């Protein structure tokens, strides 16, 4: 499980889950995924999502406002309950965690300090946890891409949230139909951002996944593999075709394709290049109109 969202039960208005409730849910996840990793994303509220508490004055621009990790870091007690619950569950399976909406190094360090604090508390209480659990940063804001080398020193992996990374890179609201045609996953700037992220990750010896919708676009898998993405996190129904597509590709050819794509000036050309490679490698999975 590459992205286990927690906002649905954390923000349920009728019931506010305690640390114990959360621990139970995460242990259940750990037991079900067994030896396979499951990455829990800490609370990502705001933007198009619900707010953790009614705002006295609504955010004038919610997508640039109080969302993601900003909310958690402003509510450390609430955040620590979630961190402690995740840590406690890590004793029961291969649980990892990642922080959403990281814009730079200070937020990453503040998160890590709170994790260490929680580990210290749990140790003192005699509670078991996996001290080596994987901790990642979501890369979904352009500023995080630009300082990815520094962030990479603080975490075990990157998970690129392309849904947001595209929206913030090309300044296109992801839920506004009027500008939907400008929301291009293969915009050259987005492709270069992904490459900058994987390059920074490999310099630091950590891995990079994608957990946005782009990971499930079968036409783009040759490009993403060539850009150095190590893991694709997709919805349950998309796992089989994505796995089949990956098994049909040659890594060397994907790398050459990605280099070509990085030199292309338009999103249409980049999309076409990857789409054609996908069609050649796994024609049965590719819709010719797509």
Using CB under 6 A as the criterion, which residues of the chain lie in contact with ligand PEP when the complex forms? 3, 44, 140, 161-164, 211-212
CA dihedral 22, 26, 32, 34 (to 10 degrees): -160
CB within 8 Å of 272: residues ≥ 6 apart: none
For 247, the token pair is 């098994």
Nearer to ligand PEP, 211 or 273 (CB): 211
211, interface contact from Mg ion, ligand PEP, none, CB < 5-8 Å by kind: ligand PEP
In this structure, are residues 159 and 150 in contact, taking their beta carbons and an 8 Å threshold? no
Nearer to ligand PEP, 130 or 164 (CB): 164
Question: Minimum distance between the CB of residue 58 and Mg ion, rounded to whole angstroms?
Answer: 20
For 51, the token pair is 């707010």
Nearer to Mg ion, 130 or 140 (CB): 140
- Binding-site member from 161, 209, 222, 228 for Mg ion (CB under 5 A): 161
Nearer to Mg ion, 134 or 140 (CB): 140
**The sheet that has 38-41: what strands, in order across it?**
38-41, 95-99, 135-139, 157-160, 207-210, 231-232
162, interface contact from Mg ion, ligand PEP, none, CB < 5-8 Å by kind: ligand PEP
Reduced to 3 states, what is the DSSP secondary structure of residue 116? helix
Nearer to Mg ion, 140 or 217 (CB): 140
Q: Which stretch binds Mg ion (CB under 5 A): 50-58, 135-143, 174-182, 241-249?
A: 135-143
Q: Does 164 bind Mg ion (CB under 5 A)?
A: yes
Give the residue among 51, 2, 17, 1 at the shortest CA–CA distance from 229: 2
Residues that bind Mg ion (CB under 5 A): 140, 161, 164
């Amino acid at each position: 499980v590459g992205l286990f969202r927690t906002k649905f039960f954390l923000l349920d208005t009728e019931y506010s889950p305690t640390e114990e409730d959360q621990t139970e849910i995460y242990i259940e996840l750990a037991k079900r995924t067994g030896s396979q990793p499951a990455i829990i994303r800490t609370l990502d509220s705001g933007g198009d999502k619900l707010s953790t508490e009614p705002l006295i004055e609504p955010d004038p621009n919610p997508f640039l406002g109080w969302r993601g990790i900003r909310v958690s870091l402003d509510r450390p007690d609430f955040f620590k309950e979630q961190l402690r619950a995740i840590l406690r569950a890590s004793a029961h399976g291969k649980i990892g965690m990642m922080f959403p909406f990281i814009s730079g190094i200070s937020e990453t360090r503040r998160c890590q300090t709170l994790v260490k604090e929680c580990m210290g508390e749990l140790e003192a209480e005699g509670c078991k946890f996996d001290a080596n659990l994987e901790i990642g940063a979501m890369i979904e804001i352009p500023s995080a891409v630009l300082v990815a080398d520094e962030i990479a020193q603080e975490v075990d992996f990157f998970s690129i949230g392309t849904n947001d990374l595209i929206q913030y890179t090309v300044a296109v609201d992801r839920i506004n139909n009027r500008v939907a045609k400008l929301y291009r996953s293969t915009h050259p700037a987005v492709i270069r951002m992904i490459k900058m992220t994987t390059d920074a990750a490999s310099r630091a010896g950590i891995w990079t996944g994608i957990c946005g919708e782009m990971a499930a676009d079968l036409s783009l898998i040759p490009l993403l593999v060539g850009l150095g993405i190590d893991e694709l996190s997709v919805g349950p129904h998309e796992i089989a075709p994505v796995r089949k597509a990956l098994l049909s590709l040659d890594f060397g050819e994907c790398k050459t394709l990605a280099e070509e794509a990085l030199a292309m000036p338009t999103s249409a050309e980049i999309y076409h290049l990857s789409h054609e490679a996908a069609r050649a490698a796994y024609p049965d999975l590719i819709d010719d109109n797509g």
